[in-house]
Amino acid sequence: MKTEVYMPAMSPSMTEGTLTKWLVKVGDHLKIGDPIAEIETDKASMEVESQIEGVISEFLVENGQDQIAVKTPIAIIETNTSTEKLKGKLFTNTIDDQPKKKIIKDRVIDQDKKQDKISVREAIRDALAEEMRRDKNVFVMGEEVAEYQGAYKVTQGLLQEFGASRVIDTPITENGFAGLAIGASFSGLKPVVEFMTFNFSLQAMDHIINSAAKTLYMGGGQLNCPIVFRGPNGAAARVAAQHSQDLTAWFSHIPGLKVISPFSARDHKGLLKAAIRDPNPVIFLENEILYSDQESIEEDNDDVISIGKAKILREGSDITLISHSISLKMCLEASKKLAKKNIDCEVLDLRTIKPLDTKAIISSIQKTNKCVVVEQGWSQCGVSSEIISVIMENAFDWLDAPVLRLTGKDVPMPYAENLENLALPSEDELIKIIESLFE
Amino acid sequence: MINKTKKNNRKLTKSDAIEAYKKMLLIRRFEEKAGQSYGLGQIGGFCHLYIGQEAVVVGLQMCIRDGDQVITTYRDHGHMLACGMSPDGVMAELYGRTDGYSKGKGGSMHMFSKEANFFGGHGIVGASVPLGTGLAFSNKYKKNKAVTLTYFGDGAANQGQVYESFNMAKLWELPCIYVIENNRYAMGTSVQRSSAQKDLSQRGISFGIEGEQVNGMDIESVIDAGKRAVTKVRNNGGPYILEMLTYRYRGHSMSDPAQYRTRDEVKEVREHSDPIESLKNLIIENNFLTEDKLQVLNAEIKQVVDQSAQFAADSPLPDPSELFVDVYQ
Ligand SMILES: Cc1ncc(C[n+]2csc(CCOP(=O)(O)OP(=O)(O)O)c2C)c(N)n1
Ligand SMILES: [Mg+2]
C-alpha cells in the first residue's frame, strides 16, 4: 500500500517550509522515527521523522524546494499492508485512488540581497552585533543563545562572530545568571541577558527589582547598573497559562527600571541600541509572533532611537487608539475598517512604557478628544490603567467621551484554541468599543 | 554512559514483565500518535514527547502503592499513562477538547488527576521540585506513610530552588524520592556543557542526601533501585535521589533543529539500548510470551491509541462560558 508523507507543521505558526535536504534515498527501508528530511522554516531547521515503517518509493519535492505548504505530500512510502494497516492514519494518507499532487517550484535565492527588508528578528540581532562591535564590554548571555543560535533564532551568528567569551550559554538558572549579570554590570560590563521568554524572568524577579532597579538609589548614585534584559513577552500561540502572558505592567511598576515594548523592526533595532547604551537597567520586551514581521531599512541604518518617545503610526482626527507591541496590528486593521465608516482613527505606538511619553498622549487627545487604550495584559493595574489616569489628570477638559479600554480577559491563558482567542483582545471587540463612542 | 541490559540475575516475574511491556509500549505508541497529530495541526503549542524514556516511569510506578504521589515537568504524557490515567483523557487534552483532563484549558504541559495522585504537569523548569517536596511534607505531617516521586530533568537540576528543597527535605527528613531523568540534554545543552558536577546523583551530598545512578534504559535496574529507594524513604529514611540515565529519541519539543547531537548518537542508543526492545527480548528468551502473542498485544495497544485519537477528535471544543470558570473556587 502506498502512503503519503506530508509536510508537517513543526509549530502552530508554521504555514510553509523549505525541504533543505533529503536524508534518505528512494528504496531505503524506514523504521518509525527514522529521519527522512531536513526542513527549514523562518524560525529553525529540523528533521522530519518517519511515522510509519516501509520503503521510500518516491519523492514528490526536490532538495532545496521552498515554500512547501504544511500538509503538502512530500514523499510516498510503500508499506507492508498486513502489519501497517492501523499505523499512521492521521499523519499519512493512503492515496492509491487519489491523483498525485506535485508542487515543484524553483528555489529563488537572493544571492547578494541588499537587506532592504529586514525582520524584527534580524533587527534585534543586528542591533546586538553592532553594539558588540562598538563596545567590547557588551556581551550576551542566556539559555541556548550561543551554540543553539537562540531558541527563537534571534542570536543567530553571534557566537561565530564574537566567540564563546562574549556569547555565553548558561545553565537553566535564571535567578543565578540574572544576579551574576547584574554583578558584572556593577563593575563596568554591559550585559544583555536573554530570557528565553519573559515567563522565565519571574524566576529572576527578585534580582531585577531588588538588585538592578534600586542599587543606584540605595548607594546615593555611586553604582549604576547598565544592563538589558530582553526576550519575547506576551501571548504566544497555544502554549497555555505558564508560557503565555504579558508582563509589561509588572516591570513598569518599578522605579529604576526602563521598559521598552516596540512594534516595528526599525524600532526594535534603534531602541535596543539605545537600551544597550543606556546607563540604567532596561527591560526590552519583544513578541514571538512579531519576530518574522518585516520592514524596510536601509542597509547601513544605525540610528539610535531615543527611549521615552511615542510615535504616531497613523494620523487621524476622530479618536486616538493607544497601544504597544503586537496589539498595534489590531489597532491599524480596525482603523482601516472604521475609515470606511467615516471614523478617522489616530494610532499611537507607545514604544516605551516607562518613562511614558505623556506629552504625546496628551497632544493626541487634544486633537481627537476621544480615546481607547488597547493592551494584551490584564486590566487591573495594567498599562491601560496608567494611561487612563494620565489622561484624566492632564486632559480631562479635552475629552468628549469616557476613555475606554480593551485588555486581555482576567483569566490565565487557556490552551484550547477557541478559548485562547476569547481570552485575547480581538479586532471585533475593538471595533465595537470604538463604535460605541460614536453612537 | 548507559550500560547494556544485564541478562543475569533475572528479577522480573512473568506478570511484571508483561505488565511493564504493555505500559511501555502504550506510552511509545501514544507518543508516536501525538507526534503525528501535532504534524497535522490537531495539537498546538509545545508538545514534549517521552519516547526513549519509558522504562523510567513504568519501572518506578511498579515500585509504589496506592496513596503515593507523583509530580513531574512538562514532559508528562508518559507519567500520566503510567499512573493509570486514561489515554482518551490525555489525548483529548492534547487536542484542547472538553473531555481532556483539564477540560482543554491546560494542554500537554498542564494536566492533573487527584484521583490518580498525579499532581502535574509543570511548565516552569525546576518548579516540580519544591512542589514535590511540599507533597512529601504533607505526607510526613499527616503521618500517612506515603512517598512522593518528584521528577525533574538534568537541566532542571541546576535551578537554585532544587537545592533549597534538598536542604529542607533533609532538615525535616521528608519522604521524597527525587528522580532526575538525565536524558543527557536540556534542549540543546548537554550535561557536559551545563554542569560542574556531572554526576547528578551526588548533588545531594552536601545536604546529607544519598543518591545513586541507575540505568534508566533497563526496566529491571529501574525496578531494583526503585524498590530499595521506596523502602528506605517510606520507613522514615528521609529523602533519596535516583538519577536515571536515559535518553530522549525525539527533539526537545516539536520544533527542535537538533544540531547539538549527531544522528549516529541517536541511532546508537535506539539500536543498542532501547528499553522496549530489551524487555521484548527478555520476554521471548524466558518464554513469557510468544512472538505471536506479542503481535496481538501490539495490535491491541495500537487500537487503544487509535481510539484515543478518535475520542479526542470527536470531543467538542470547550464551551465559551468555560473561559471564566475555575479562576477561583
Ligand atoms: C524557568 C524556565 N526556564 C526555561 C524554560 C524553557 N525550557 C523548557 S524545557 C527546557 C529544558 C529542560 O531540560 P531538562 O531539565 O533536562 O528536561 P528535559 O526537557 O530533557 O526532559 C527549557 C530550557 C522553562 N520552561 N522554564
Ligand atoms: Mg534533559
Contact A49 B257 (CB under 8 A): no
Coil, helix or strand at residue A433: helix
Q: Please indicate whether residue A268 is annotated as part of the active site.
A: no
If pLDDT is split at 50, 70 and 90, which confidence band does A47 have? confident
Name the residue type at position A325.
Answer: S
Helices of type H across A163-247: 174-186, 205-206, 215-218
Pairing of strands A138-142, A311-314: unpaired
What residues of B are in contact with residue A176 (Cβ under 8 Å)? Answer: 160
Pocket of ligand 1 (CB under 6 A): A 143, 172, 174, 196, 200, 203; B 75, 123-126, 153-156, 181, 183, 185-187, 252
Coil, helix or strand at residue A304: coil
Of the candidates A174, A194, A346, A375, the residue annotated as catalytic is A174
Q: Which residues 41-70 on chain B approach chain A with CB closer than 8 angstroms?
A: 41-42, 44-46, 51
pLDDT at A434 over 70: yes
Q: Does A151 touch chain B (CB under 8 A)?
A: yes
Of the candidates A38, A49, A78, A243, the residue annotated as catalytic is A243
Q: CA–CA distance from B59 to each of A54, B16, B224, B276, B304 (Å)?
A: 32, 10, 9, 12, 21
Q: pLDDT tens across B282-304, in order?
A: 999 999 999 999 999 999 999 99
Return the number of CB contacts < 8 Å for A and B.
191
pLDDT at B7 over 50: no
Q: pLDDT tens across B154-208, in order?
A: 999 999 999 999 999 999 999 999 999 999 999 999 999 999 999 999 999 999 9
Taking residues A10-24, report their average pLDDT: 82
3-state secondary structure chain B: CCCCCCCCCCCCCHHHHHHHHHHHHHHHHHHHHHHHHHHCCCCCCCCCCCCCCHHHHHHHHCCCCCCCEEECCCCCHHHHHHCCCCHHHHHHHHCCCCCCCCCCCCCCCCCCECCCCECCCCCCCCCHHHHHHHHHHHHHHHCCCCCEEEEEECCHHHCHHHHHHHHHHHHCCCCEEEEEEECCEECCEEHHHHCCCCCHHHCCHHHCCCEEEEECCCHHHHHHHHHHHHHHHHCCCCCEEEEEECCCCCCCCCCCCCCCCCHHHHHHHHHHCCHHHHHHHHHHHCCCCCHHHHHHHHHHHHHHHHHHHHHHHHCCCCCHHHHHCCCCC
What residues of B are in contact with residue A423 (Cβ under 8 Å)? Answer: 323
At the top level of CATH, the class of B14-262+278-312 is: alpha beta
Q: pLDDT tens across B36-83, in order?
A: 999 999 999 999 999 999 999 999 999 999 999 999 999 999 999 999
| A416 closest CB neighbour out of B125, B255, B318 | B318
Contacting residues for A154 by C-beta, under 8 A, at least 6 apart:
A121, A124, A125, A194, A286, A291
* Separation of alpha carbons A243 and A404, rounded Å: 28
Mutation to probe ligand 1, out of B182, B187, B200, B254 (largest number of atoms < 8 A from CB): B187
3-state secondary structure A370-396: CEEEEEEEECCCCHHHHHHHHHHHHHH
**Residues with a beta carbon under 5 angstroms from ion ligand 2:** B 153-154, 183, 186
* Separation of alpha carbons A425 and B7, rounded Å: 60
Q: Are B73 and B122 in contact (CB under 8 A)?
A: yes
Same fold, A2-101 and A311-436: no
Q: What is the pLDDT at residue B3?
A: 47
Average pLDDT value for chain B: 95
If pLDDT is split at 50, 70 and 90, which confidence band does A44 have? low
At the top level of CATH, the class of A2-101 is: mainly beta
If pLDDT is split at 50, 70 and 90, which confidence band does A41 have? confident
Q: Does B257 touch chain A (CB under 8 A)?
A: yes
At the top level of CATH, the class of A109-296 is: alpha beta
Atom 7 in ligand 1: which residue has the minimum CA distance? B125
Taking the domains of chain A in order of start, what are their residue ranges?
Answer: 2-101, 109-296, 311-436
Q: What is the pLDDT at residue A36?
A: 87
Mutation to probe ligand 1, out of A152, A174, A196, A288 (largest number of atoms < 8 A from CB): A196
Q: How many helices (H) and strands (E) would you count in chain A?
A: 13, 23
Take residue A101 and report the three cell numbers written for it: 499532487
Sheet harboring A93-94: ordered strands across?
A29-30, A54-59, A73-78, A2-6, A93-94
Q: What is the pLDDT at residue A49?
A: 77
Name the residue type at position A413.
Answer: M
Q: pLDDT tens across A381-427, in order?
A: 999 999 999 999 999 999 999 999 999 999 999 999 999 999 999 99
| φ, ψ (nearest 5 deg) of residue B211 | -160, 170
Contact B36 A51 (CB under 8 A): yes
Q: What is the pLDDT at residue A89?
A: 29
Q: What is the pLDDT at residue A6?
A: 85
* Separation of alpha carbons B315 and B169, rounded Å: 42
Taking residues A127-134, report their average pLDDT: 97
DSSP string, A147-187: TT--TTSTTTTHHHHH-TTTEEE--S-HHHHHHHHHHHHHT
Q: pLDDT tens across A233-255, in order?
A: 999 999 999 999 999 999 999 99
Nearest residue to A45 (alpha-carbon basis) of B168, B327, B32, B255? B255
Contact A90 B195 (CB under 8 A): no
Coil, helix or strand at residue A77: strand
User: Residue B252: nearest ligand to its CA?
Assistant: 1
Contact A414 B38 (CB under 8 A): no
What residues of B are in contact with residue A410 (Cβ under 8 Å)? Answer: 324, 327
* A378-384 long-range Cβ contacts below 8 angstroms, 24+ apart: A378/A246, A378/A249, A378/A407, A378/A408, A378/A410, A379/A405, A379/A407, A379/A408, A379/A410, A380/A410, A381/A249, A381/A253, A382/A249, A382/A407, A383/A248, A383/A249, A383/A252, A383/A324, A383/A350, A383/A353
Mutate to test the interface with A, among B108, B109, B189, B328 (most CBs of A within 10 A): B189
pLDDT at A114 over 80: no
Q: What is the CA radius of gyration of chain A?
A: 25
Q: What is the pLDDT at residue A201?
A: 98
* Separation of alpha carbons A52 and A87, rounded Å: 7
Q: Are A430 and A371 in contact (CB under 8 A)?
A: no
Q: Please indicate whether residue A243 is annotated as part of the active site.
A: yes
Take residue A195 and report the three cell numbers written for it: 530570557
Give the helix/strand (H/E) hosting A364: helix A358-368
* Separation of alpha carbons A185 and A212, rounded Å: 9
Q: What is the pLDDT at residue B10?
A: 61
Q: Does A381 touch chain B (CB under 8 A)?
A: no
Contact B44 A419 (CB under 8 A): no
What fold is seen in the domain A311-436? Rossmann fold (3.40.50)
Taking the domains of chain B in order of start, what are their residue ranges?
Answer: 14-262+278-312
Q: Which residues 183-242 on chain B approach chain A with CB closer than 8 angstroms?
A: 186-189, 193-195
Pairing of strands B189-190, B185-186: antiparallel
Q: What ipTM does the predicted assembly reach? A: 0.91
